[in-house]
Every structure is written in C-alpha cells, then in structure tokens.
Structure 1
C-alpha cells in the first residue's frame, strides 16, 4: 500500500509517518519500480502500535523502548516495560494534580464574577489587573497565602 493508504488506514498524517521512518521507529518500506514507498501489513501494525502509545501520551523515546521489547522474552526487558508504564502513570497523576490546582484557581477567579456587568466592572478582569500589578488575587493570593482564600488577601 502507498503512504496515503497507510495514513488513511491508521489516521496518522503522512508527514508524521515520514518522521517515524527517519527517526527509526518505523522501518523503511520497500520501493516500487516507480520509487513509491510500498508499505505492507507489518508497517500498518507497527504504526498502529506507535499511534496507540502516543495516544497514551508516551514519548517517542519510550515508544522506541517498547518497540525494542515487542518480541522479547527477557525478564529484565519486560520489567523495564512495566517500569516505563509505572513512570508514565506517575507523570499522568502529577499532571492531574496540577490540573486540579489550576481548576481551583480558575474557580476562585470565577467567583469574582457576579454577572451584573451593567451595574459595575468585571470582577475577573479586576483580579487579573491586580495580579499584574503584583497585588494579591483570588486565584493566587500572595506568596504563602492559601490558594483557596476567597478574599485574595484584600478587603
């Protein structure tokens, strides 16, 4: 199959397929007489494997390590695969924690809006301007302030 067909079958952009070839994640295909790349079923399966790993937000380096371990029966190599997934899980958990903190900050900022914009200015913009001036804000407070402090250190 040609690169366009491979792209369509896997949902991977043509330029990304070429990048994976150049980086060694995808072996180069045979070339037909007219010079076109000629991919076969193993390319399709390997590209689907790479795509799945990338959907799990694994780095290309980690994908490469997983690809090297695909047909391994070496206990150490398989233990390394387990450790790699554990490390990825740790990174995801750290990002979740960070995203929860961001959500709390945005909620604190949002609490400054009472939606009566025709009677007074925007509380959210006032908080952002205050923060830009180095003042405490609802979402961050001052260093050492509690992030969830709804007064933002101001009265």
Structure 2
C-alpha cells in the first residue's frame, strides 16, 4: 500500500461542507466536481474531479471509480471548452509526496488552456479565490451541462 495520510487526517473531500455545495459543478453517485479554490493566473476556473468514496491515490482507486472520474472529466471538458471559449484543456493528477500530492484523497485537475498560458511553468496563486467567484464559475458550467 502507498499510504501517506496521517492517522488523524481530516479529509476535505469526504467532509465536504454543505455551505460549499454551490461550488459543485457536477455530482453523481460516484464522483463530484468543484471549482478549485486555488487558481493559476492564466487558467481561471479549473476544476477538481473527485470520487465520492475515499481512495488516497491512483494505486488504490477501484476501476469503477476511475472510469467515473474519466467520464465526468470528459463531460466537464466539453462544458469547459464551450463555456470558457478556451483553446483546449489539460488534466493533471498527482500521487504521493514525490508526485506532488498534497491532499490525501484521489482527485484530478481539469484546466482550461489558452495559447501561451505557460501553465506548467507557473505556480498557483498564493491565496484561495473568494467563494462568490468560485460559485459564479460553477454556475456557468452547470448551465452548460444542462444545455
């Protein structure tokens, strides 16, 4: 096993607070997706796609949850492309400390991409984005999913 979460770990995705529900873009029985609270300056509104069940990393992710994450990512990528008018999308997923994982619950990032955005050479903004801005992006994407 590749377990790194501390014994007393409080998982932010398992205990997702109800007051943050307006940040949820998509939810089904296996996964949910939220607007990430940490942004990259030229890739605003990126998403986290998260299995409902707690699995620390890719190594322990059951295939049914992995397929659900991928299916949701594809659906959300289409909505993101149409809503943000981006030129493409990128996904990113980290495992273990050496891989850059800092939250001990599997999740995948979905970024809107633009020419010259330099995503992989830049760091995220230092502060979390205010909830009202995250909620506005979530609403835009939810509307696109319904259309």
Question: What TM bracket, shorter-length normalisation?
Answer: under 0.3
More strand per residue: 2
- TM-score normalized with structure 2 length: 0.23
- TM-score normalized with structure 1 length: 0.22
Q: Which has the higher contact order (CA 8 A, sep 6+)?
A: 2
More helix per residue: 1
